[in-house]
Amino acid sequence: MAASPGTKTINSPVRSGARITNLDAIRGLAVLGILVMNAVSYGLPQAAYFNLAAAGSDSWLDWLIGGTGEIFVDQKMMGLFSMLFGAGIVLFADRTETKGKRAWPLSLWRNGLLLGIGLLHAALWDGDILVVYAVAAPILIALRKLRPRTLIVMGTLTVIWSGVLAVIVQTTVPVDGAGLGEYWFEAGGPMSDPVGLFLLNDFFARALGMMLIGIALYRLDILNGTMPVAFYRKMSIWGLGIGLPLAALGLGFQATKAFSPEIALIGGAPNTIATIPVVLGYVGLISLWNRRAETGLHRRVRAAGRMALTNYLTQTIIGIIVLRVLFDTETLNRSWIALFVAVVWAIQLVWSKPWLDRFRFGPFEWAWRSATYRKLQPLRR
């Protein structure tokens, strides 16, 4: 029975039923994968994130690592992460409503807290995504009950708009790249207003678009992992078959132009648009993998996903300490950063499951949950 209006409070958590392990698996691989690109910005100049020729590419191995990251990881893992955030908004709101509570107040309070976490994180590292998620949350809450087809169209158009804007803003950039600043050049200085606005829009639009698609896929039970095996096979084949060649085409175009500032923004547009099919392909592959006979790796990846907030924040903390404090950033390249990524992956896969065997939540998840309900939540199992 739903509680009466007079008894509704926000200081008691919504009890979840059985966990959706497919969501945990996708979230786990997404949070591990997002480190591949984030680590570049921990240890190399900002331009190296967008321009493989700007810094950190000292050998053929560096170029191989950088190119592989651009095609398979760049934007895609953020896309997966964003998709899961959209699904999480719906999951939280739905479970709140099933308990007779209004989703709006509790969801807005919860994401206001996330904004605070994101601002603290951004003070440490300017690549934070949590602020974007928190700002987008009210939009997602308002639109979450639209038809899945409508959400998919809206999300797709939002992501594509980012690619279109890249073409428009490129026309404002002189041949010598003046105005691209630190976006494209290792010592480029500040960006022009059009380039800065493009970057801000690109960051927000891609995240919001994938969140809207994530809500739709959750409503359609695709993210839950309950569709037939044949469905996920087709999803992975078509998604990767379309998306990966498109991403490779964009990188190849940049390479043939020697990463010229003339195509700095346009060259990234194919990769932006490729994000949608590649992410769908990854969802298909992960869903197939999650349905296989359970192994220790399954359990560890899912545990990493259940502690995604903690793992995301600790990646930054470790990255800043190791790559900016302990090492001279001028001596780092993409090969050293790849080694760093592998070590952090090992640490997070090793520690997440034992922690959750003893505790109900990751440390940052527990703090966020306790603040959400304004009451300390049980931590030990």
Asked if residue 104 lies in contact with residue 94, where contact means CB atoms within 8 angstroms, the answer is no
Most confident option among 94-98, 126-130, 279-283, 328-332? 279-283
163 alpha-carbon distance from chain centroid: 18
pTM for the structure as a whole: 0.92
Res. 7 pLDDT band, cuts 50 70 90: very low
Residue 95: its pLDDT value, please?
85
Residue pLDDT, tens place only, 142-200: 999 999 999 999 999 999 999 999 999 999 999 999 999 999 999 888 999 999 999 99
The pLDDT score that the predictor gives to residue 18 is 55
d(CA 380, CA 366): 10
- 144 with 216: CB under 8 angstroms? no
Write out pLDDT tens, residues 185-238: 998 889 999 999 999 999 999 999 999 999 999 999 999 999 999 999 999 999
b/e 14-24 (16+ beta carbons within 10 angstroms → b):
beeeeebbbbb
| CA–CA distance, 108 with 105 (Å, rounded to integer) | 5
Whether the Cβ atoms of residue 180 and residue 191 lie closer than 8 Å to each other: yes
Q: In percent, how much of the chain has pLDDT > 70? A: 95
Judge contact between 149 and 12, C-beta under 8 A: no
> Does 284 have pLDDT greater than 70?
yes
CA 53/CA 35 separation, integer angstroms: 20
How many angstroms separate the CA atoms of 4 and 80, rounded? 38
Angstrom distance (rounded) from CA 4 to CA 12 = 15
359 Cβ partners below 8 Å, 6+ apart? Answer: 366, 379, 380, 381
